[in-house]
Amino acid sequence: MTGSTGIAPSLVDRAKARFAEQFGDDPAPRVAVAPGRVNLIGEHTDYNDGFVLPMAIGRAAVVVFRPRDDRTLRGHSVAFDETRSLDLDELSAPGGNDWLSYVAGVAWAFETEGLPARGLDVVVDGDVPIGAGLSSSAALELATARALAAAGELEWDPVRMAKLGQKAENQYVGMNCGIMDQFASAVSQAGSAVLLDCRSLETRPVPVPEGAAVVVMDTGARRSLAGSAYNDRRAACERVVAYLATLDPSVSALRDVTPQLLERGKDALDATDLKRARHVVPENTRPLKMAEALKAGDLPAAGRLMNDSHYSLRDLYEVSCEELDLITEIAREQPSCYGARMTGAGFGGCAVALVRADAADSFCATVGSAYKAKIDLPAELFPCRPMAGARLLD
């Protein structure tokens, strides 16, 4: 059950209660939240300078915080039931990759960009599933950034803060993520997805019609192969670009490649590399087309684009898996479903479906039951409406 903010009140209450237990409640702490995200369409286009269409969801990271008078960052994780502290003057990259490192990494990124990071007492909680491709790490980074900005009485600039969150993850934690996750968590507006140009970083809100629900379908399968597969596919894209740039010097990424140019170069390209590019080039147009379909209220057209994206990811990019294929197939069989696709890096994690809003609960129950009858994993399905980005609740 979510409140008017889109965040579960019980989650916020739990984090505040834990803060009182750990650090006392006088003076009263403040609360920063930032949502996870699901990518509606535009998969593996971000590192090809393309377009993506993510949407903030009603699952979030919560940071309850109170400024300190020294340079100590003292944090408690509800999930790990652990309290730790560190000195902000001793932060250096690379750091670690545990829960506190995501918090510390944002403080480090603030300092490297000339923004003062105050000492804080913080309690970290959240309900974004970890390892499901819903950006739990970006949510924690942006909630931390919101807390640090408020504690330091700094202007909240969502675009700058998204970049700082990415810097923390890339350089401090050591995960080479793109910018999409942090942007979605920072700049999203309630009621709208975000069309992001990963080259220019320009964004525009894309309202999701009231009659539609986005259903996140967590398969319960975690992405054991995603890291190496991601690197292989990224390298394939770079090889295609390197060759096609000899045919057209204006090409610097697959964003610049037309289907016609790709066909011109096909005989000189490795067959597997060509398959990868044959996914990315059409996929890069799908976020733009889906944005127009949603704007027009044409949900069947939006759904067809999602289906096409899944088939392309399955057959050309080859990053789907049995669980993702099964849950999207069951979803498409439901009369209330316009379309469904895997989302994220692949090889597990989540799929996403566009569904009639009035049938979302029954859709979740039917698809979840049919999936669990065939796959013995802790799957979870939940409907979403687009939520606002990182913010203070008080």
Per-residue pLDDT of 259-282, as tens digits, reads 999 999 999 999 999 999 999 999
Is beta strand 212-218 parallel, antiparallel or unpaired with respect to 380-384? Answer: antiparallel
Cα(179)–Cα(286) distance, integer angstroms: 19
pLDDT single digits (tens) 113-129:
999 999 999 999 999 88
Both tokens of 155, joined, read 């202007």
Q: Which of 314, 246, 248 is nearest to 278 (CA)?
A: 314
Q: How confident is the model at residue 224 (pLDDT cuts 50, 70, 90)?
A: low
| More confident of the two residues 6 and 152 | 152
CB 130 within 8 A of CB 190: no
Q: Count of CB atoms within 10 A of residue 326's CB?
A: 16
Q: What is the mean pLDDT of residues 304-317?
A: 98
Q: Count of CB atoms within 10 A of residue 26's CB?
A: 8
Q: Count of CB atoms within 10 A of residue 125's CB?
A: 23
pLDDT at 5: 54
CB 377 within 8 A of CB 220: yes
* Catalytic (active-site) positions: 181
pLDDT at 1: 45
Average pLDDT of the chain? 94
Q: How confident is the model at residue 9 (pLDDT cuts 50, 70, 90)?
A: confident
Is 0.75 surpassed by the pTM of this model?
yes
pLDDT single digits (tens) 48-77:
999 999 999 999 999 999 999 999 999 999
Q: How confident is the model at residue 138 (pLDDT cuts 50, 70, 90)?
A: very high
Backbone angles phi, psi at 208, to 5 degrees: -95, 120
**Any idea of the CA torsion for 96, 60, 136, 68, to the nearest 10 degrees?**
-10
Q: How confident is the model at residue 225 (pLDDT cuts 50, 70, 90)?
A: low
Q: How confident is the model at residue 4 (pLDDT cuts 50, 70, 90)?
A: very low
Q: How confident is the model at residue 92 (pLDDT cuts 50, 70, 90)?
A: very high
